[in-house]
């Protein structure tokens, strides 16, 4: 057996072992938490406080290399929608005895000048919207769909979940502080990829169907509580789906917008409308 073949087999066996370990951790309930609203059990091996600390560094680095929009009207719209939805999130968490889920969040909303249709939310409530997505959102309600969806990912701690899996698979399950010390660049890239900022580092960590469905559901309820019509989400994703045939925009690289998704959203709207009508 050649040394190359041996190394390939060893790498494969290591990944299989780590996958089995991950399943065992889930079974034992180690690092498990429950996603709000959906009730799904998830494995988050990393302290959320560490994720928030990393987000502040990455967020400031991002802002230092990107220009904020000079369009005062659009910037104000992003911040208004953001404040509305973040207030709804905090209200929901308080009412459902889950305030610790957003503990330490210091909400901030920025619009950056970039033609890519994209948006993201980091742990700690740092939200960035790209000007390139505004032609697709069309209105404040359409923007609420995007902001609500991205905040849904953050509240559900999908980034922590993906980062935990990535550390297990790609770095052998070492602790975050060890990973940062021994593999600082790789760990940073894994973090950026986990939150949708990793397009230039050659790492793809696509959201699973479960994550997408959860972000859709949470986002719908949050935007409804904030006073934005949940029916707009079907219209928005319909516009995104209509872009088929064109080069896939960044916002869709891990966000499927096919007929199945639109049908799923239609099924979720009635639940969100209860919150919308109860305001």
- Whose tokens are 């690289």? That residue is 253
SS3 label, residue 191: helix
Describe the crossing of helices 259-277 and 232-241 by its angle, rounded to 10 degrees. 160
Q: HSE of 14 in the Cβ direction (CA atoms, 13 Å)?
A: 12
Cα–Cα distance for residue pair 274/56, rounded to 1 Å: 35
Q: Is 150 marked active-site?
A: yes
Q: Any long-range contacts for 19-25 (C-beta under 8 Å, 24+ apart)?
A: 19/169, 21/168, 21/173, 22/165, 22/168, 22/169
Cα–Cα distance for residue pair 59/151, rounded to 1 Å: 15
| Run of H or E residues at 218 | helix 209-225
Q: Which of 48, 150, 212, 214 is catalytic?
A: 150
The set of catalytic residues is 150
């Amino acid at each position: 057996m050649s040394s190359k073949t041996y190394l390939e087999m060893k790498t494969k066996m290591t990944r299989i072992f780590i996958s089995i370990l991950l399943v065992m951790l889930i079974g034992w309930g180690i690092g498990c938490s429950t996603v709000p609203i959906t009730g799904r059990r998830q494995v988050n091996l990393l302290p959320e406080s560490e994720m928030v600390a990393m987000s502040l560094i990455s967020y400031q680095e991002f802002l230092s290399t990107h220009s904020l929009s000079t369009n005062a009207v659009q910037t104000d719209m992003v911040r208004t929608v953001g404040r509305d939805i973040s207030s709804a999130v905090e209200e929901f968490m308080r009412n459902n005895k889950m305030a610790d889920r957003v503990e330490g969040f210091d909400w901030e909303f920025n619009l950056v000048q970039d033609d890519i249709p994209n948006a993201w939310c980091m742990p700690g409530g740092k939200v960035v919207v790209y000007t390139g997505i505004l032609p697709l959102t069309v209105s404040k309600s359409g923007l609420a769909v995007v902001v609500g969806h991205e905040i849904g990912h953050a509240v559900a701690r999908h980034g922590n979940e993906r980062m935990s899996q990535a550390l297990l698979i790609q770095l052998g399950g070492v602790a975050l502080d060890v990973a940062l010390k021994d593999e600082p660049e790789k760990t940073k890239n894994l973090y950026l990829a986990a939150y949708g900022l990793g397009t230039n580092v050659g790492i793809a960590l696509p959201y699973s169907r479960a994550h997408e469905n959860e972000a859709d559901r949470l986002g719908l309820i949050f935007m409804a509580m904030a006073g934005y019509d949940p029916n707009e989400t079907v219209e928005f994703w319909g516009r995104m789906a209509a872009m088929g045939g064109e080069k896939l925009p960044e916002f869709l690289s891990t966000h499927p917008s096919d007929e199945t998704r639109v049908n799923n959203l239609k099924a979720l709207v009635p639940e969100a409308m209860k919150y919308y009508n109860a305001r």
